[in-house]
């Protein structure tokens, strides 16, 4: 174990979470299967090997699906409030293990320790939300046009929910899906990112303990590991009626096509190209705080990270100066050290993408005002630490039209009224998160109107990142259109059924049709 890991208690965290040097990567609960090939997980913090995880074979996948299918038969008939009690216990285990799991998230993925703890808190919050929801899976009652008839709607579990998650939120996004799917009566099969597989192992062990303590069958919570080929097992499998996938737009299009060809359901949370509009009536101090956290939090590797700042020409220079000053105060380094603001990118491939983006914006005519670059020397041995950069650009640039999963912020200038800024904001293929900074009520309401932001998330006087679990999370256009977490997002995990009951001795037909015998 590295000096960093020893200094910040990573060894103890791994032991508490049951993580070993080599871990079986396929599980139906307490049953762990040996797999074949291995995924090595290296920390972007210091480049050290954390542990290895075996990948799932096709035969093991078949065992997982068989176990999940069998578990569904009993899990679906358990009353929803009783399923909620299981989720409550899972949330309590997360509370108990919040610190070690938060450390693992930080060390394996690279986000700050505070953000790692925050991610586990999201898991706890969604469990609390799901517990309450377990008594509120409401349908509707409708009036029938036929005398002596009653109509209503109800929701039933789908079956097996397949979950494919990304590295940037290696535990929270899984919990958004599983907590809701479990209380809906579904069973889950999870393929975590191959870039953060140990987080998946830890979560599965926590869940398995809860299910075992309650004498529940194997298969309610399942884990598989591997690259995209293992994910294809689920996307191509008719026994998996819903696949929830988080990742790039490119990946999402493949998942949507594959699942759609078998008429399955897909829940897609894909790329974002998020903007903050800054009007002449904005509070500049609030704007800078929101923009800087949105742009550099998680080293720019959130799907809700702020990519574009659309600033009115009358305050452009003032905002630019304030941002440059703020970036000069950023501390980049070991994310487990709470004195630092920015940790590493996930790996050297991400660093190469970051460098290419900076080269591209200059080639297209942009002006870099806060230079980027890869950090070297003591503390940066992993090669994954980069400087957050700011570039003046135009929305029409090709690089600005695409999401760069790194801390690169583009400043865009607008003139005229807020409609012009909204047009710029909406002028990209993605539609996840958006924000406006203004103290002008008319501008704020215009931004939120039918002709305003075309994103799934639209905020006023806060940044683009940091969504609460109470609201449905997701976006439009190339972001995929899916909704997870709060509000009525639970409905995607269930099938809707319309019921009509005739309590008379007659059989009238709808629409007044006569059919006498």
With b for 16 or more beta-carbon neighbours within 10 A and e for fewer, the 160-197 pattern comes to bbbbbbbbbbbbbbbbbbbbbbbbbbbbbbbbbbbbbb
Counting residues of the chain whose pLDDT is more than 90, the rounded percentage is 97
* Whole-number pLDDT of residue 336: 97
Q: What is the pLDDT of residues 157-170, one digit of tens each?
A: 999 999 999 999 99
* Whole-number pLDDT of residue 339: 95
DSSP letters for 360-390? HHHHTT-EEEE---B--STT-TTS--B--EE
Which strand ranges, in their side-by-side order, compose the sheet holding 221-223? 32-33, 26-27, 221-223, 187-191, 160-164, 242-246, 265-269
* Whole-number pLDDT of residue 515: 87
Where are the domains positioned within the chain?
Answer: 3-270+480-496, 274-468
Distances (CA, A) of 3 to 48, 138, 395, 457, 496: 10, 53, 44, 41, 54
CATH architecture under which domain 3-270+480-496 falls: 3-Layer(aba) Sandwich (3.40)
Give the pLDDT band of residue 302 (cuts 50, 70, 90): very high
Q: Mean of the pLDDT values across residues 134-152? A: 96
In whole angstroms, what is the distance from residue 131 CA to residue 378 CA? 47
Length of the chain: 517
* Catalytic residue list: 269, 303
CATH architecture under which domain 274-468 falls: 3-Layer(aba) Sandwich (3.40)
Tokens 């494919």 belong to 164
Q: Mean of the pLDDT values across residues 79-92? A: 98
In whole angstroms, what is the distance from residue 515 CA to residue 496 CA? 29
Let me know: does 184 contact 133? Beta carbons within 8 Å.
no
pLDDT at position 214 over 90: yes
Return the bridge partners of 433, or none: 457
Let me know: does 199 contact 169? Beta carbons within 8 Å.
no
Pair type for strands 306-312 and 274-278? parallel
Average pLDDT, the chain: 97
Pair type for strands 430-431 and 476-477? antiparallel
Q: Mean of the pLDDT values across residues 32-49? A: 97
* Whole-number pLDDT of residue 388: 98
In whole angstroms, what is the distance from residue 299 CA to residue 386 CA? 9
pLDDT at position 426 over 90: yes
Q: What is the pLDDT of residues 100-115, one digit of tens each?
A: 999 999 999 999 999 9
Give the pLDDT band of residue 484 (cuts 50, 70, 90): very high
Contacts of 441 (CB under 8 A, 6+ apart): none
Please state which of the ranges 194-198, 277-281, 507-511 shows the lowest mean pLDDT.
Answer: 507-511
Q: Mean of the pLDDT values across residues 479-501? A: 97
For the CA atoms of 55, 57, 62, 63, the dihedral, rounded to the nearest 10 degrees, stands at -60
Q: At what angle do helices 113-133 and 172-184 cross, to 10 degrees?
A: 10
Let me know: does 167 contact 193? Beta carbons within 8 Å.
yes
Give the pLDDT band of residue 466 (cuts 50, 70, 90): confident
Continuous segment of H or E residues that includes residue 345: none
Tokens 């191959």 belong to 194
**Phi, psi for residue 337 in degrees, rounded to 5:** -85, 110
Contacts of 189 (CB under 8 A, 6+ apart): 64, 65, 68, 160, 161, 162, 163, 222, 223, 224, 234, 240
* Whole-number pLDDT of residue 517: 80
Q: Mean of the pLDDT values across residues 138-152? A: 96
* Whole-number pLDDT of residue 516: 81
pTM: 0.97
Residue 245 or 36, more confident: 245
Rounded to the nearest angstrom, the gap between the alpha carbon of residue 359 and the centroid of all alpha carbons in its chain is 29
pLDDT at position 1 over 80: no
Q: What is the pLDDT of residues 304-329, one digit of tens each?
A: 999 999 999 999 999 999 999 999 99
In eight-state DSSP terms, residue 56 is P
Please state which of the ranges 98-102, 141-145, 401-405, 511-515 shows the lowest mean pLDDT.
Answer: 511-515
Q: What is the pLDDT of residues 114-126, one digit of tens each?
A: 999 999 999 999 9
* Whole-number pLDDT of residue 365: 98
With b for 16 or more beta-carbon neighbours within 10 A and e for fewer, the 428-467 pattern comes to bebbbbbbbbbeeeebbebbeeeebbbbbbbbeebbbbeb
Let me know: does 212 contact 92? Beta carbons within 8 Å.
no
Q: What is the pLDDT of residues 292-301, one digit of tens each?
A: 999 999 999 9
Rg (C-alpha) for the chain, rounded Å, is: 24
Q: Mean of the pLDDT values across residues 496-513? A: 94
Per-residue H/E/C for 105-163: HHHHHCCCHHHHHHHHHHHHHHHHHHHHHCCCCCCCEEECCCCCEEEEEEEEECCEEEE
């Amino acid at each position: 174990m590295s000096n960093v890991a020893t200094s910040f208690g990573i060894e103890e965290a791994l032991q508490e979470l049951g993580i070993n040097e080599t871990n079986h990567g396929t599980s139906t609960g307490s049953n762990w299967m040996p797999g074949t090939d291995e995924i090595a997980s290296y920390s972007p913090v210091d480049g050290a090997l954390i542990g290895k995880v075996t990948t799932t074979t096709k035969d093991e996948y078949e065992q997982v699906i068989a176990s999940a299918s069998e578990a569904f038969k009993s899990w679906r008939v358990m009353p929803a409030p009783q399923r909620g009690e299981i989720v409550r216990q899972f949330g309590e285990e997360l509370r108990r293990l919040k610190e070690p799991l938060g450390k693992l998230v930080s060390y394996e993925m690279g986000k700050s320790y505070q953000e790692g703890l925050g991610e586990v808190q999201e898991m706890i919050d969604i469990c609390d939300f799901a517990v309450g929801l377990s008594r509120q899976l409401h349908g509707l009652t409708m009036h029938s046009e036929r005398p002596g008839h009653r109509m209503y709607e109800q929701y039933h579990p789908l079956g097996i929910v397949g979950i494919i998650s990304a590295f940037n939120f290696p535990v929270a996004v899984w919990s958004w899906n599983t907590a809701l799917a479990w209380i809906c009566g579904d069973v889950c099969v999870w393929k975590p990112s191959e870039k953060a597989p140990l987080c998946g192992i830890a979560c599965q062990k926590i869940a398995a303990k809860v299910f075992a303590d309650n004498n529940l069958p194997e298969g309610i919570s399942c884990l598989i590991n591997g690259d995209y080929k293992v994910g294809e097992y689920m996307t191509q499998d008719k026994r998996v009626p819903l696949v929830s996938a988080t990742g790039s737009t490119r990946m999402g299009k493949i998942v949507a096509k594959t699942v759609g060809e078998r008429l399955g359901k897909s829940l897609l949370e894909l790329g974002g190209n998020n903007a903050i509009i800054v009007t002449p009536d904005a509070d500049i101090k609030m704007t800078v705080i929101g923009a800087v956290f949105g742009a550099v939090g998680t080293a720019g590797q959130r799907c809700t990270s702020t990519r574009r700042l659309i600033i009115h020409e009358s305050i452009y220079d003032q905002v630019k100066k304030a941002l440059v000053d703020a970036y000069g105060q950023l501390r980049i380094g070991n994310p487990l050290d709470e004195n630092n603001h920015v940790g590493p990118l996930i790996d050297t491939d991400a660093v190469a993408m970051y460098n290419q983006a900076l080269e591209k914006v200059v080639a297209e005519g942009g002006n870099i005002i806060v230079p980027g670059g890869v950090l070297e020397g003591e503390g940066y041995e992993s090669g994954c630490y980069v400087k957050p950069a700011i570039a003046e650009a135009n929305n029409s640039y090709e690089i600005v039209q695409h999401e760069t999963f790194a801390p690169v912020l583009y400043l865009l200038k607008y003139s005229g009224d807020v409609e012009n800024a909204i047009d710029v904001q909406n002028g990209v293929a993605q539609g996840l998160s958006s924000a406006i900074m203004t103290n002008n009520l008319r501008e704020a309401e215009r931004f939120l109107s039918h002709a305003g932001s075309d994103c799934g998330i639209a905020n006023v006087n806060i940044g683009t990142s940091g969504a609460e679990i109470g609201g449905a999370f997701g976006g439009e256009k190339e972001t995929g259109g899916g909704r997870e977490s709060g509000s009525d997002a639970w409905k995607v995990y269930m099938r809707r059924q319309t019921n009509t009951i005739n309590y008379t001795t007659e059989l009238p037909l709808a629409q007044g049709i006569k059919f006498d015998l």
